[in-house]
Structure 1
Amino acid sequence: MDLAIFLATLLFGFFFGNKSTVASFTPADSYLIVCGSSQNVTLLDQTYIPDSTPQSSISLKSQGAASVTYTSNSSTTLPSPLYQSVRIFSTTASYKFNIKQEGRHWVRLYFYPLPNSGYDLTSATMTLVTENFVLLNNFTFKNYNGSHLFREYSINVTSDTLVLTIIPSNNSIAFINAIELVSVPDELIPDQALAISPSAPISGLSARAFETIYRLNLGGPLITPQNDTLGRTWVNDKKYLHVNSSAVTVAVNPLTVRYRALATQEIAPNWVYATADHMGDANVNNVNFNITWVFRVDPNFTYFVRLHFCDIVSKAMNNLVFNLYINSDLAFGSLDLSTLAGDLGVPYYRDFVSNSSADSNTLTVSIGPDTMADVTDAIMNGLEIMKMNNEFRSFDGLSPVETILPVSASKKNKRMAIIVGSVAGSLGVILLLGLCLFCLGCGRRTKDSQQGGHSWLPLPLYGNSLSLTKMSTSSQKSRTASCLSLASTNLGRVFTFQEIMDATNKFDESSLLGVGGFGRVYKGTSEDGTKLAVKRGNPRSEQGLAEFRTEIEMLSKLRHRHLVSLIGYCDERSEMILVYEYMANGPLRSHLYGTDLPSLSWKQRLEICIGAARGLHYLHTGATQSIIHRDVKTTNILLDENFVAKVADFGLSKTGPALDQTHVSTAVKGSFGYLDPEYFRRQQLTEKSDVYSFGVVLMEVLCTRPALNPVLPRDQVNIAEWAMTWQKKGMLDQIMDKNLIGKVNPASLKKYGETAEKCLAEYGVDRPSMGDVLWNLEYALQLEETSSVLTEPEDNSTNHIQGIALNPPPLEAFDNSSVCMVEGASCGEEDVATSAVFSQLVNPRGR
């Protein structure tokens, strides 16, 4: 749209539609407080009252030393009039607000270290908490990249008061410039949203607190609180676009936006739905590319993502069908906007819950055409990303409120009286219950000793410290026995939580190897000096008890040179911890791209692929019943100190079909880009599904690029499809890693390419077994080794055939140096198969 027309449309809406478009939402509670000021401050038609003004509904208490106020009289330009005064505290202080109507509220905080205040506010270190949530923990402007700080939280207040406590940390001071506490509709945050990777509903959001991280008006200008019924600010999205030319802005008169039952003015103002970004020119050969937005986030938290849509570009219904991606996951396929909204120009929104990209501190959102719909456009109008409190009810660190908030003597005495009374009243019941459980346990042990074997005990999700199996007498006596002495359990060593703490130096951040779908992985050292990889389950992860149990069951009965060994586990204190052998050289993927590690030689790559193939072949044929890995990829192939390849991460593994069956019917799980299309379509799992995934790995090893890279033209997005077109031309050397050019024997490369091509056959029946794959790779290695002792011709390959244009290299994303897959563990389903900034562009129906 022409810029003049765009601006004219916005001005028309502003002058003629502003008052009618912003309906009056009247909050039950509305506290606008300017701290340290002696007079009211007016900002955007709102009046902020000094915190020193006597009010029955708000009180300020400061323990010990008196508060200090400072008002700036300088002519220096301030970020906002709210920053012209400040209240400074040398001891703990609290603001107490009376709540008229329980429910969700905005808590907005303003901080600006005013100069010439007589205090070094830039060095001040402070903590802010409510009764239930930690908002800031040891915050200081020394570590903050900005001149001022504004934080907005959404908290569900469930009592008749809310207390905001400000605590100077480390014998410092604390300060604050302004506070807002305003009611919002409870419907603003639903109780349920769709979690990403794996896709499943997640409930209980209404009890959670949220911190606004990003709120964008896509394709439109800044929207101030004046034009939002809930006083929100919406900023333009241009700085977050990965490729500016990929998006074209479009705008209509805000009055043409028609709200229906799904969306309201409180969800987003019509100014948001009246502008949008849709597909532009990304300077690629094919129009089927993505628009991608990239956001920096804290990888230790989960995020609530709300996406706003309104079809303001179509002339008729059903003309806008596209795909939506969050990170590397297809969040919504074939989104038919006009059908979902009910008409053109009608707002629609969707909510998701997601973590950051598994191998970076970014969260990406992408939209792109659904190629099956034969539509080459996609649109989005608004985007919100909100951080959710972690398991410690904190937005900043791992310390819960109870360990931060000082407790008064009267509260301590009252709490002690309650505790003593409760203990005295229930002691008899506990003793009786304990006696019953003891008797029951003795009976079960007797029965088990008679039957023999080791059956599973029920294990509640993130439950108590029940062991996964009944331990033998020796292991009960000594939980620190060696692996050998615990072999009778068939499940490896049972670690105590204290042993895990000692091995990882209390989960020291310096020993962190990486973060995956199951949780964090730390490098550890056992008491005998053995190096360990300790995978600690995250209670907020979508991977939980099933993956934990599967991993132990599978690996406890599998021992092979090319499978990562499970040393043991720990399930005490509501923990789910897996302990593996330490793999010094980490995942195969980190040696292919995304890091500065030295390039692997062709012989090394062949030996690694052969090792992985041997591990998979053993899974398929070596056990009593075949095992299908179901998540074969370069991040799940680990390398030890000698670059010996070992297959890892068995959380998604399944036992293969029985002798009288051809497949296992199961829900589709795995990683996009590696998924067998036949399995994806029919939900019928076979060993040949692993073979297909391994074929993708072979191409990834050769070409050193992600399995999916949506920024490329459509025919290059999927490495399997792209590489196969070159393989069928007999020109696979044209797309190989540039570090291998001129260093690969043509016969070896030909055999390698033929093997990968067979693995990637459309139908499983046409694919070879892993045994056949292994044989062919070993033959390719023999061809390479044979050629190394012969005199090679001056140019023995077709790498430099004149007249053949090489494919353009993948466009550079920003820094993808962080490694998702770490030694001894993998990132699970959340692993990003593409670069750190692109979501995949895949056909959700399979090829």
Structure 2
Amino acid sequence: MLMMMKLVKLVTSVMVVFPLLVNASFSLYNPLDSYLIACGSSQNITFQGQTFVPESQHSSLVFQPGNSIVATSNSSVVPFPIYQSARIFTQKASYTFQIEQQGRHWVRLYFFPVPNPTHDLTSTAVTVVTDDFVLLSNFSFSNGSSMFKEYAINVTSDTLTLTFIPSNGSVAFVNAIEVVSMPDELFVDQAMTLNPSAPFSGLSELAFETVYRLNIGGSLLNAENDTLGRTWENDMKYLYVNSSVTNVSVSPSTIKYPAGVTPETAPNSVYATAEAMGDANVAYSNFNITWVFPVDPNFSYFIRVHFCDIISKSMNSLVFNLFINTDIAHGGLDLSSITNDLAVPYYQDFVSNASADSNTLMVSVGPDTMEDITNATMNGLEIMKISNSLKSLDGFSSVRSFLPSSQSNKNKVGIIVGSVVGAVASIAFVGLCYCCLVLHNSKSTEQGRPLLSLPSLYGSSHTMSWMSKTSHRSGTSSFISLSSINLGRVFTFQEILGASNKFDERLLLGVGGFGKVYKGTLEDGTNVAVKRGHPGSEQGIYEFRTEIEMLSKLRHRHLVSLIGYCDERSEMILVYECMSNGPLRSHLYGTDLPPLSWKQRLEICIGAARGLHYLHTGASQSIIHRDVKTTNILLDDNFVAKVADFGLSKTGPALDQTHVSTAVKGSFGYLDPEYFRMQQLTDKSDVYSFGVVLMEVLCTRPALNPVLPRDQVNIAEWAMRWQKKGMLDQIMDQKLTGNVNSASLKKFGETAEKCLAEYGVDRPSMGDVLWNLEYALRLQETASLALTEPDNNSVNQITGIQLTTTLQNFDNGLGMIDGGNSATDDDAEDAATSAVFSQLVNPCGR
């Protein structure tokens, strides 16, 4: 890893060349195209140092208003003068801008539902499209607040058309529009993707929407402070831990822009302020500074990180790592060695997705553990949504679904189709001949089938041996094995299509980091869950392989069973038993499902704990799940909990080891802080994540919610403050009020508190967690029994239960398929649960 980081550092140093540092002031950028329109206004409006003029004063603007009307208001509810007027469209209308300079342009839209007696603009559903991209799709302003949207569109013709389309029989409106050209060099065509790190090309063909733009460590900047009219907000509300940083600033005049970087890249006020590591009140000094951003998980994001070393006193005295989500974006980053000086701006561009299942994007900087330096810094950050395959930045509809093709376009399409049909027919004939040849060869070799390699999945070091070619339709499943281990049934892609009705979106159960999950039905009527991986994902290949290898060895009543998989046509598809009641999270919040009782919640937590306890102790070598969370605990018809998603799982340390050193993986909000800081993984990392789950179950809120007040963002920190005061009942789900025995709640809270201990050595094992949860359940059941059958001794029995502590003949009834052990469910578990406890006091692993 160290060698790889040094190689990346060397390559970066070679590729990024800054010939001449200059202190001279730069002339302001003067855009060739600059449209600032006050829609519906009859006079000029000054806003943030810029002058917006009425539509009629733009001679090179073609405005087709349709049946539009003008709304104006001087009411105090209007936040800024730019929102005092609006153009309201009762039917489709468009603005066409003459473009002098082709290339990237800013398109900025201002919306505020101006009070109007004719139309209630708060109930509108607005769609806005350009010639090629969907910017807004059926967007509603139900909250009645203003909205500002900024896009970066690459204009490749001499016009740009913005079309406003009323949706659902409503009206559309807009208050102001900006269309302004930007320097060609501001956005290049290439960035770096992560995991694996590789160049990403083709950005010029995509549209961007600005989601976040931060002046880290500095104050708000707007069009008056930015030569390109951009807004930079302060970063404090996105910091995961505010106390982890300290502000640093220098005079903007000290910033030395190199060739190729200008104030258009970012104003010198951005580079002249920064955050450095502060006092995060943790035991270790090499923590990370982390910013967390809610994002739409259905899109990828362009991320630009701005750096300028204004904190060092000498060269090569600051070396740190940059993380995006849990991936190392740049290791061993030494700014002074790249820029050959201090106070010199530098930036890097990346393309990334949201964190798996968390709907957040996380950016962190922290000290390089290979260096004896405990500091890190960042100056600015830009996060922009990237248009999807339908060229949309909002939803899953293309421009053509809103703007039918013109007649000329139809004629062009006809010519193209006519030209292509002949070529396709020729290719089809050649393909048919080739298929016949392949079929003939396959029949001739069927009796002596050789080993089949699957390099796309397992690489060249593993081979798959052919066991049977008989399909399920003939009554016999198709099986293949990897290294003599039974991996389950191998489905053909056609079988998967049939089971999922060709991946019908109406059967969609959910979307995760690996891909989409569909409900399916096999030909014998068995209901299954079909997880289809993202095509071409290197990380997906790793998770696919890990999931198969792990679940092929494991059988347990509280682990989701893998039925089989499909590896055809570069697809990565996993087929599981169907868990009809879905993820635990959906029964806690975010849906209209009936609330779970306290007893149900305890039983679900106990089931999940049993599954994790088996992973840690029941296998020949311990397995660390590494992604324990409420979306990975699934419920069957009877609300029996089963742990799912083993794509990130890791074999635990050997007997002579205390931990596994590995890159941080998992879901933010559930990550063990010790693992996050030290990159040292143990089974106690799962215990910490499970503690977060316990708090979710009690409080029915997400593990991480950045929209809440700062002291409530992280459920673990927030709930522990209440637990230490003995007041968990004040923050638990209000639907449980009056139905939870206080002794049961106390034991539950104590268990969660131990799980969430700062250091792994202070946390209990999953066996101890299981024991305590069963104790909490017994307290609840005894209290309920006392209420229904009162007697003189029942109250005392609640707090004085005698626990079975017998350790002999401990057997959880579970085994590994590998090595000849039988794989059986423990049917006695339910009986053991109804007994006092299931002989799980300090159980010993095998």
Query: Larger relative CO (CA 8 A, sep 6+): 1 or 2?
Result: 1
What is the CA distance between 1:272 and its match in structure 2?
Answer: 0.7
1:51 is the counterpart of 2:55:
yes
Preserved CA contact (<8 Å) 1:702 1:736: no
Partner Cα distance (1:587, 1:24) in 2 = 54
Which residue in the other structure is 2:735 paired with? none
> Equivalent residue for 1:444?
441
User: Deviation of residue 204 (structure 1)?
Assistant: 2.9
The residue number in structure 2 matching 1:36 is 40
Rounded to whole Å, the distance in 2 between the matches of 1:533 and 1:292 is 35
List aligned pairs for 1:321-340, cutoff 5 A.
Answer: 321-340=319-338
The residue aligned with 2:19 is none
Equivalent residue in structure 1 for 2:182, among 184, 189, 194 = 184
One-letter amino acid matched to 2:760: A
Once structures 1 and 2 are overlaid, which stretch shifts more, 184-193 or 224-233? 184-193
Given candidates 748, 759, 766, the residue that maps to 1:722 is: 759
Query: Could you tell me which residue of structure 1 aligns to residue 145 of structure 2?
Result: 147
Whole-Å separation in 1 of the counterparts to 2:357 and 2:553? 30
Q: In 2, are the aligned partners of 1:747 and 1:783 still within 8 Å (CA)? A: no
CA contact (8 A) 1:633 1:694 kept: no
Q: Closer, same or farther in 2 for the Cα pair 1:732/1:332, shift >3 Å?
A: farther
Q: Unpaired segments of 5 or more residues in structure 1?
A: 1-18, 461-467, 476-480, 622-627, 657-665, 682-688, 752-768, 798-847
Choose from 509, 514, 521 the match for 1:518: 514
Please name the residue that 1:23 is paired with: 27
**Which range moved further: 643-652 or 288-297?**
643-652
**Residue equivalent to 2:92:** 92
- 8 Å contact from structure 2 (residues 608, 643) kept in 1: no
Q: How many angstroms does 1:141 deviate by? A: 1.1
Q: Find the partner of 1:304 among 286, 302, 305.
A: 302
1:132 shift after superposition: 2.1
| Count of aligned residue pairs for this structure pair | 705
Which of 559, 569, 579 aligns to 2:575? It is 579
8 Å contact 1:248–1:278 — kept in the other structure?
yes
Cα distance in 2 for residues equivalent to 1:782 and 1:721: 36
Return the alpha-carbon distance in structure 2 between the equivalents of residues 405 and 597 of structure 1.
51
2:263 aligned counterpart, secondary structure: coil
| CA distance in structure 2 between the partners assigned to 1:280 and 1:369 by the alignment | 12
The whole-number CA distance in structure 1 between the counterparts of 2:800 and 2:32 is 74
Q: Does the alignment pair 1:507 with 2:513?
A: no
**Are residues 376 and 417 of structure 1, via their aligned partners in 2, closer, same or farther at CA, if it must alter by over 3 Å?**
closer
How far does residue 151 in structure 1 lie from its aligned partner after superposition? Answer: 0.7
SS in 1 for 2:204: helix
* Corresponding residue for residue 491 of structure 1: 490
Provide, for residues 129-177 of structure 1, a one-character-per-residue CA deviation record: whole Å limited to 9, x for no partner: 12221110011212xx452221101122233332222221122222222
- CA displacement, residues 46-81 of structure 1 (integer Å, 9 cap, x when unaligned): 4434333463x432235xxx3424252636464343
- Asked whether 1:203 is paired with 2:227, we answer no
RMSD over equivalenced CA pairs, Å: 5.7
Q: Is the 8 A contact 1:534 1:578 kept in 2?
A: yes
User: Does the aligned pair in 1 maintain the 2:74–2:84 contact within 8 Å?
Assistant: no
Q: Note closer, same or farther for the CA distance 1:24–1:725 as it changes in structure 2 (3 Å cut).
A: same
- Equivalent in 530, 535, 547 of residue 534 of structure 1: 530
Q: Secondary structure at the match of 2:506?
A: coil
Where 1:266 maps in the other structure, the secondary structure is: coil
2:82 corresponds to: 82
CA–CA distance in 2 between the matches of 1:650 and 1:355? 20
State the alpha-carbon separation in 1 of the partners of residues 450 and 549 from structure 2.
14
Partners of 1:637 and 1:493 lie apart in 2 by 28
- Kindly state the Cα deviation for residue 256 of structure 1 after the two structures are TM-superposed: 0.8
Could you tell me how far apart the structure 2 residues matched to 1:648 and 1:172 are?
Answer: 44
Give 1:634's aligned residue.
628
Contact 2:804 2:836 in 1 (8 A): no
Q: Deviations over 1:330-377 (max 9, x none)?
A: 444443343344322222223333333323233333344456544444
**Given the alignment, which residue of 383, 386, 394 partners 1:385?**
383
Worse-superposed segment, 732-741 or 111-120: 732-741
Shift of the 271–750 alpha-carbon distance from structure 1 to 2, 3 Å rule, reads farther
Which residue in the other structure is 1:808 paired with?
none
1:137 touches 1:396 (CA, 8 Å); kept in 2? yes
Q: Deviations over 1:580-613 (max 9, x none)?
A: 1124677799999999885899999898677567
Deviation at 1:264, TM superposition (A): 2.5
Q: Relative to structure 2, which stretch is displaced further, 635-644 or 108-117?
A: 635-644
> What percent of counterpart residues are identical?
50
Tell me the TM-score normalized by structure 1.
0.67
2:329 equivalent to 1:320 = no
Change (3 A) 1:698 1:600: farther
Whether 1:168 aligns to 2:166 is yes
Aligned to 1:109: 109
Aligned partner letter, 1:32:
L
Distance 1:693 1:770 in 2: 25
Mapping of residues 357-756 of structure 1, within 5 Å: 357-370=355-368, 373-423=371-421, 425-426=422-423, 428-452=425-449, 455=452, 481=473, 484-487=475-478, 490-492=489-491, 494-495=493-494, 499=498, 501-502=500-501, 506-507=505-506, 512-513=509-510, 515-523=511-519, 530-539=526-535, 543-544=539-540, 548=544, 564-567=560-563, 577-583=573-579, 633-634=627-628, 649=645, 694=683, 696-697=685-686, 722-724=759-761
1:287-302 mapped onto 2 (5 Å cutoff): 288-302=286-300
Q: Residues 341 and 348 of structure 1 are in contact (CA less than 8 Å); yes or no, is this contact kept in structure 2?
A: yes
**Offset, 1:269:** 0.5
Structure 1 pair 717/383, CA: closer, same or farther in 2 (3 Å)?
Answer: farther
Cα deviation 1:261-293 (Å, max 9, x = unaligned): 464312111011112233344455665544433
2:56 is paired with a residue of what secondary structure?
coil
Contact 2:29/2:228 (<8 A) preserved? yes
- Which residues in structure 2 correspond to 1:828-843 (within 5 Å)? none
How far is 1:426 from its partner? 3.0
Change (3 A) 1:239 1:609: closer
Which residue does the alignment assign to 1:343? Answer: 341
Cα pair distance change 1:555/1:469, threshold 3 Å: farther
Cα separation, 2, equivalents of 1:530 and 1:413: 49
Q: Deviations over 1:285-344 (max 9, x none)?
A: 665544433322222222222222222233233343444443344444443343344322
Equivalent-residue separation in structure 1 for 2:403 and 2:240 (angstroms): 42
* CA displacement 1:783-819 (0-9 Å, x = unmatched): 99999599x9xxx99xxxxxxxxxxxxxxxxxxxxxx
| 2:181 maps to 1:219 | no
Distance 1:352 1:49 in 2: 37
Per the alignment, residue 350 of structure 2 pairs with 352
Letter paired with 1:232: R
Q: Per-residue deviation at 1:224?
A: 1.9
Shift of the 710–215 alpha-carbon distance from structure 1 to 2, 3 Å rule, reads farther
In the alignment, is the contact (CA less than 8 A) between 2:626 and 2:649 conserved in 1? no
